[in-house]
Structure 1
Amino acid sequence: MTDTDAIDLASMLCSRLCHDMLSPVGALSNGLELLAGEKDPEMRQRCFELLEQSAQISADKLKFFRLAYGAAGGFGDQVDVAEARAVIDALARDAKRVAVNWALAESRMSKPAVKVLLNFAHMGIEALVRGGTIDIGAEVREGATEIVVRAAGARIAFDETIGAALEGNLSKDKLSSRTAPAHLLCLLADHAGGGLQYRQTGDALVLGAVLPNG
């Protein structure tokens, strides 16, 4: 990756963060504006509830971005999987109508593996525009971490350019805030000597990764 490519990727990831935070932060701003002019006690209570909800969604998204894109877990090589699980469970609750099933054989995973797990789960949640279930599994076998995320629902919304980015087939002109996370995962997998793949049908999206450890 050239310096220009690295700058472009960083810029797109920042754009993605800003895009995803705009809605809950905007809701906070609107709620405060409504609260300032509202006199009815019942409506003021409703405003407080909306503010609390928007604040929680904002906090959940920031926790996700910290783990999915940032220096998760400090300077250590391993990350507590429970922290990643809590973040995804929170995002699923915020999304509504999304149930998460977990099958994790490890209590700690490498930083690249956790980033892949988080981003796969996030992609699955976003794909379930009408709700559904997400099955998330991860285990270490023969010196490699294997991750599988399956999102199933009445309608799957998944951009093929994201799939192309995961598999390393994205042209430079297609890099955007939407495809940047998938491109990042591809780079992480390539650096680890592993690979990513996806498969989409009418009612399911399956995302898989194999990342050699060490």
Structure 2
Amino acid sequence: MNISPTDFASLLCSRLCHDLLSPVGALNNGLELLADENDPAMRARCLELLADSAKASANKLKFFRLAFGAAGGFGDMVDTREARTAIGGLFGDGHRVELGWMVEEETLPKGAVKVLLNLALIAGDALVRGGRLDIGAETIDGHVEIVVRGEGPRIVLDDELRGALGGTAGDTITPRAAAAHLARALVTENGGSLQISPPDAPALMFGAVFNAA
């Protein structure tokens, strides 16, 4: 599947706007309620909702800046603690997803961090009823190895995402598959391969191996 850089940038922007619409909309609704509310208890509740929505918006922006953007410049190493914080903000408190972090490397190449974050995003989204998300990565002999495992009572990875990750997608993709396309592109451009567990597997697993440079 070939897609122009301009079209792909549009897909990423659409994905970002879609994910931010809910928390930003909640902020707007909360402000409207606060303006018309005089009861102290209800005003306090409105402020709590505003704080939650603001935190959710900030967490999503931090994650997408690292997963999709050019945070830290080009060709740099990235502190893996930033990646852990970004994933925790997206799927941690209140999201019914338990995180397991098995990354001992203090830094990873930016491309590797992007692959890790985008695979974690896809796996976390697939845990529609919550569960556990385990993430591991290490550098061995000039290669980065990444494993992401999602387990929960219900796992949904639709055919579009599976096709984008496996390189069997059609000529067009939608914004929801942008993360999958980006992860595969980064892996293949660096001489690597990406594996996906079969649809009938009890857990969802992604594995990627590619050059660390």
Q: Fold-level match, TM-score > 0.5? A: yes
| 1:102-129 superposed Cα distances (whole Å, 9 cap, x missing partner) | 1112110011100011111111211111
1:172 alignment partner, SS class: coil
d(CA) in 2 for partners of 1:139 and 1:202? 25
Provide runs of 4+ in structure 1 moved above 3 Å: 200-203
| Alignment match, 2:110 | 111
How many pairs does the alignment contain? Answer: 212
- Paired amino acid for 2:85: A
| Alignment match, 2:19 | 20
d(CA) in 1 for partners of 2:74 and 2:176? 28
Give yes or no for contact 2:122–2:179 (8 Å, CA) kept in 1.
no
**Residue in structure 1 matching 2:192, options 169, 191, 194:** 194
The CA RMSD measured in Å over matched residues stands at: 1.5
- Paired amino acid for 1:85: R
> Structure 1 residues 179, 186: closer, same or farther in 2, change over 3 A?
same
> Structure 1 residues 202, 189: closer, same or farther in 2, change over 3 A?
closer
| Alignment match, 1:151 | 150
| 1:117-163 superposed Cα distances (whole Å, 9 cap, x missing partner) | 11111112111111100111001112200000000000001112111
What TM-score does the superposition give when structure 2 sets the normalisation length? 0.94
Gap runs ≥5 in structure 1? none
**% identical aligned pairs:** 55
1:210 alignment partner, SS class: strand
Q: Are 1:126 and 2:110 matched, yes or no?
A: no
Give yes or no for contact 2:37–2:43 (8 Å, CA) kept in 1.
yes
Gap runs ≥5 in structure 2? none
d(CA) in 1 for partners of 2:211 and 2:31? 49
What TM-score does the superposition give when structure 1 sets the normalisation length? 0.94
d(CA) in 1 for partners of 2:19 and 2:93? 13
The 5 A counterparts of 1:1-214 are 5-94=4-93, 96-173=95-172, 175-199=173-197, 200-201=199-200, 203-214=202-213
